[in-house]
Structure 1
Amino acid sequence: MNSNNLIGIISLIAVFVSLLLALFLLTVKTKNKLGNVLLASFIILNGIDLSGWFIFIVTQHFPNLEMFRRSTATLINPVFYLYALAICFTDFKLKPIHLLHAIPFVVYNLLLMPGFYLADYNTKILFFENYRESTALVAIMAFAHLQFTFYIIAIFIVLKRYKKIYLENYTDTTTITYKWLFQLTVIITIVHSIVALKDLLVFTEDSTIFNRAQIIVGINAVFILCWFVLKALYNPDLFRGIDSKLKPVETLIAKNASTSLPLKEVHIVKNNEQIQKLRDYMFNYKPYLEPALTVQDLANQMEMPVRDLSIMINHDLGQHFFDFVNEYRIEKAMEILRDPSQKEFTILEILYKTGFNSKSSFNTSFKKHTNLTPTEYRKTNSR
């Protein structure tokens, strides 16, 4: 079997898996339908791109269709970016302004209109025959890599904002949005780097090396798509987003500073009173035992503005809301572990009793707070 046939088979498998996964995402019940639609669109667009390794045998006789197929690659990165926004922010909706992301796709096809789409059949065939030696290939590749870099940076900025706001406002450790999207973005970046190296080989005279590089890219695509399938099957409702209207605490502080300038001494006294009120509430009412506690929930319970509470915890106490609440949970867990009358409780039961719902996050937080695992702490304090 020659390398071209092997590349065709690998890409055919990748496209088949893509369509299956896209069908699953479009039909599975989920709270975040838009996120699934955008992810399915991203996967389909990648499948269309990968199909070029086997479908060109047919589409070469329909040059306009083949060129349009190639142009859809300019939509891959924008759709992935919109997908990132959709799963990070619960209130995200597609708006007419998002059509601006399709500008490269439109411009690409408009530029080809006079020199390709409206040209005669023989000119189009000649274009494909000389494609690897043309200046158009260099321009298209350069744009593709620049576009990818722009959107990947934008996605990492979204992730940074998401993580910051989440830690300042939520405590539910079961969310895997950040981890999933971060892993996915890193993997896509690595694969794109391999594709970039492969693209450089297109200008070499040795087609064997280029074909081998294409095989590696195709195998990577199959493995990544299979990883997608496993993730989707095991976690059909993967994500918990946040409200995009939430602002980082540093933004709230800057806004407060620009609107009011209270006397420093008065501010300190008032703040100390509020902090003590907060600590008393946490000790007496134990709201931290609620696994899905948010800063909004706590503010409602204490009947105080959520902005003031968020600033108090995240700025005045110097802790993320996430860490602040987990400290109380760990202290409660330590109390149970030290109590001989509660030794029948397993570590798993204790973590659920204290507001955690993830063993890994409980162990991580406990080790961070005590430098011991829960089991080690129990043994040390039972002597």
Structure 2
Amino acid sequence: MEVLRYFIFIYCFLGVFIAGGLFFKRRSPANITLAIFIFLFTLEQLDFLYTTSDIVLIYPEYYLLIYPVCLLFGPSLWMHFRYVQHPELKFKYTHLLHALPFLVFVVFLLAPIIKLEGAQRLEYTRINFNSHMMPLNYIRTTHVTFYGLLMLFVIIKNKVFRNNQQGVYLTVVAVIYFLTAVLQSYLTRFADSYRQFVLYFFLASTIVLIAGFVLYTYPEILIQLQKKYFSSSLKTTDRNRIVEKINNVTKDPFVFLNSSLSLNQFCDKIQEKTHHVSQVFSENFSTSFSNYLNLQRVEHAKALLRDRQQDHLKILAVAFESGFNNNVTFNKAFVKCTGITPGKYRKQSKKG
């Protein structure tokens, strides 16, 4: 068991690097929320090593300070789940309501203990472990398990695993999270001491790191898994109908110029289910809805940039006219589709 503790210590360093890499590599909501989850889990690991070693006796003032962070595991991973499933989703302050159980737990249940001095905290938890600390442990594990069940419920209800590559990824993430939550619940109930949680932290960290490495390095595995285990249930007639509807809508480019257009709104317009439309975009158009949306907007922007009568429009104005909310998003999408910036494209079109 002592060897596993060294592995967990190494995993902590890897967790910091991975979280930092995700956060600074591309600051998308999906990356940021996943980075937050990994960082929080790394803190939990460090707290486990600290709590189950003699260091806690030397520096007892830090005891229980990291204890409640697991109540943020579920919310951070749930938001990552939502942002991957719906890339167009915008942050709302109501999303912070997911952190409400964490605040209630800290303010009303943990604060009275935290107010004690470090040595007194250690003594208090030792004396009142069964009467006070075990109920708190059950609250933590119940909260973690709840979010695991929530993600599995959404996956099964909406058949997310059949949608596209992202659907399989979300399924893998949800299953891993739920299984580790079950293991945590089991150990909370039956473990003789907190030191026995070393198996939980080792397995959870190993699974997350391996899965993350495999999914990042070999993304084609997702496609193979999808074809082998999650074969499409969409009938040919339904598929052809949706393709025809998408093509018909595309004939009216102004549909895509609505800057607030989301996948749900698009599906409402063509009166089809969201997961079916996502599946058709992935399998028939070899792209996602958001990429397809950007492509149509870029085509409209190209037409404006070529039109000499629109030379008075600045690049930012062209971006707004094409359905983009800001110049940064417009430039990224334009370069991705054409390989050059909008300004350079305008200059080249004038030479031709």
TM tier, shorter chain? 0.5 to 0.7
Report Cα offsets for 1:209-230 as digits up to 9, x if no partner: x75x534323312321232133
Residues 211-360 of structure 1: pairs in structure 2 closer than 5 A: 211=195, 213-224=196-207, 225-235=209-219, 295-301=245-251, 307=268, 309-310=270-271, 320=276
2:36 equivalent to 1:47:
no
Q: 1:60 to 1:98 in 2, by over 3 A?
A: farther
CA distance in 2, matches of 1:214, 1:50: 10
Q: 1:70 to 1:215 in 2, by over 3 A?
A: closer
2:174 equivalent to 1:185:
yes
TM-score (structure 1 length as normaliser): 0.55
Contact preservation (8 Å) 1:295, 1:306? no
2:139 equivalent to 1:150:
no
Residue matched to 1:249: none
> Per-residue deviation at 1:201?
2.3
> What SS does structure 2 have at the residue aligned with 1:68?
coil
Contact preservation (8 Å) 1:42, 1:79? yes
CA distance in 2, matches of 1:308, 1:323: 17
CA distance in 1, matches of 2:55, 2:203: 25
2:76 equivalent to 1:79:
yes
CA distance in 1, matches of 2:244, 2:5: 51
Higher RCO structure (Cα 8 Å, ≥6 apart): 1
2:28 equivalent to 1:33:
yes
> Per-residue deviation at 1:324?
8.0
TM-score (structure 2 length as normaliser): 0.60
2:10 equivalent to 1:13:
yes
* Of 180, 187, 191, the match for 1:198: 187
* Of 82, 85, 88, the match for 2:85: 88
Number of aligned residue pairs: 256
What RMSD in Å do the two structures reach over aligned CA positions? 4.0
Q: 1:294 to 1:128 in 2, by over 3 A?
A: farther
Q: 1:99 to 1:130 in 2, by over 3 A?
A: same
Gaps of 5+ in 1: 168-174, 240-278, 330-353, 358-383
Residue matched to 2:98: 101
Gaps of 5+ in 2: 224-236, 256-265, 288-352
> What SS does structure 1 have at the residue aligned with 2:88?
coil
Q: Which has the larger radius of gyration?
A: 1
Contact preservation (8 Å) 1:75, 1:102? yes
CA distance in 1, matches of 2:271, 2:33: 33
CA distance in 2, matches of 1:198, 1:187: 17
Residue matched to 2:227: none
